[in-house]
Structure 1
Amino acid sequence: MPSFEEITRHHDFDPSENPWVNGPPAPATITIAPYNPEWPRRYQTLSTAIRTALGDVALDVEHVGSTSVEGLAAKDVIDIDLTVADPRNEDAYVPALERLGYVLTIREPSWHEHRCLTLAEPRVNLHVFGPDCPEAIRHRMFRDWLRAHPEDLARYEDAKRAAVPGGGHVMDYNARKEQVVREIYDRLFRAAGML
């Protein structure tokens, strides 16, 4: 289990690392959709397919991100955290996921050996981490906090809507809402006795 310090540390992008496996995506229009009750069902279908394709290689599969929080408006993209024994061993999971239509898009050795595969239809970001990864723990904590704290759910939704104007890459959108995200993390970490 990672230390509180490892879990509460915010990640800053390493500018020397090029994470794009096939080059960066073109800037795209970001649209925030009202909460869709189909999102959890969509996740269940995707999760079942991932677990079936990977068998014991999939140590854990979790619905994270905004589509995992009932009532929260979000981009119509399902975020999933997949835990495998070693994300660096891409041969153990990437070929099976490619057969499902996933494409390896991001490789970030400096950030917990994170890999991200995307699916075009339905749209999915499949984040791959190793066991007891601080970032995967953070994702679950943030999801669970928003589920239990409607005031922060509303604050986060407002930040998302305010971050849409300006265009650019999704990373630009994420940067525009980062301050509010970090404020919410600070509250939840303090409530958990981690700060």
Structure 2
Amino acid sequence: MSTADDPLDDVLIGGREKRDIVIVEHDPAWAARFEEERARVVAALGDRALAVEHIGSTSVPGLAAKPIVDIDLTVADPADEDAYVPDLEAAGYVLRVREPGHRMLRTPERDVHLHVCAPGSEWEQRHLVFRDWLRTHPDDRRRYEDVKRELAARDWDDMNDYADAKDDVVADIMGRATAPRAPGTGG
């Protein structure tokens, strides 16, 4: 919930936005949309785009999601906005979040979120590990979907509040995803 000393005021460009949270069944077209956006990012940045990965729920086959394609874009230094933001804005993206180690741009339609991070950063690794775990662990995928559906039924002042409400289930799943495993036990 928003307060006078809201830390999001320091990172959100344009302030909080009230949006309905709608969860829909997985759409195979999300993978094609990612490929279109990946091509647009690479065309804008060339080799400055060190990696472009489909992340978030739309990247996990069988997982219901908000119909917003999340993408991790790895650049040498996210804080060096002059090295990439103007070119991404020229390609049609709008800067929305500025926080240490992370920027987020989105399409004007708000159906693509482009998360910018550094190579090997905690931001990058966390999202790739979570995606890969959910792709191969149906019980956790179902559990995460159930929590998302329950939370989406609530009224939120801002999408960030909805995202924050998932922290406990995400932390629990990440605990399993990053736990050391005995040799030969798989993952």
The TM-score with structure 2 as length reference comes to 0.89
Instruction: Provide the rounded CA distance (Å) in 1 between the counterparts of 2:103 and 2:7.
Output: 17
Q: How does 1:142-157 map to 2 (within 5 A)?
A: 142-157=130-145
Could you tell me how far 1:17 is from its partner in structure 2? 6.9
CA offsets 1:95-149 (integer angstroms, 9 cap, x no match): 111112101111002xxx2100011347111000111111111100100000000
The one-letter code of the counterpart of 2:171 is R
1:62 paired residue among 32, 50, 53: 53
> 1:43 and 1:122, CA in 2 relative to 1: closer, same or farther beyond 3 A?
farther
Partner of 1:18: 10
Partner of 1:188: 177
**SS of 1:61 mapped into structure 2:** strand
Single out whichever of 114-123 and 43-52 deviates more from structure 2.
Answer: 114-123
**SS of 1:128 mapped into structure 2:** strand
Could you tell me how far 1:26 is from its partner in structure 2? 2.1
> 1:192 and 1:142, CA in 2 relative to 1: closer, same or farther beyond 3 A?
farther
Instruction: Provide the rounded CA distance (Å) in 2 between the counterparts of 1:18 and 1:122.
Output: 21
Single out whichever of 131-140 and 145-154 deviates more from structure 2.
Answer: 131-140
Partner of 2:18: 27
Matched, 1:162 2:154: no
2:88 paired residue among 94, 97, 116: 97
**SS of 2:179 mapped into structure 1:** helix
Instruction: Provide the rounded CA distance (Å) in 2 between the counterparts of 1:56 and 1:70.
Output: 29
Identity percentage of aligned residues? 48
The answer as to whether partners of 1:108 and 1:114 remain within 8 angstroms in 2 is yes
**SS of 1:107 mapped into structure 2:** strand
Runs of 4+ in 1 over 6 A off after TM superposition: none
The one-letter code of the counterpart of 1:184 is I
Could you tell me how far 1:191 is from its partner in structure 2? 4.6
The CA RMSD over aligned residues, in Å, is: 1.7
The answer as to whether partners of 2:17 and 2:159 remain within 8 angstroms in 1 is no
> 1:192 and 1:124, CA in 2 relative to 1: closer, same or farther beyond 3 A?
farther
The one-letter code of the counterpart of 1:57 is R
The answer as to whether partners of 2:59 and 2:131 remain within 8 angstroms in 1 is yes
User: What is the count of residue pairs matched by the alignment?
Assistant: 176
Instruction: Provide the rounded CA distance (Å) in 1 between the counterparts of 2:8 and 2:108.
Output: 28
The one-letter code of the counterpart of 2:179 is R
The TM-score with structure 1 as length reference comes to 0.85
The answer as to whether partners of 1:163 and 1:174 remain within 8 angstroms in 2 is no
1:127 paired residue among 115, 120, 123: 115
The one-letter code of the counterpart of 1:98 is E
Could you tell me how far 1:162 is from its partner in structure 2? 0.9
5+ unaligned residues in a row in structure 1: which ranges? 1-13
Could you tell me how far 1:167 is from its partner in structure 2? 2.2
**SS of 2:71 mapped into structure 1:** strand
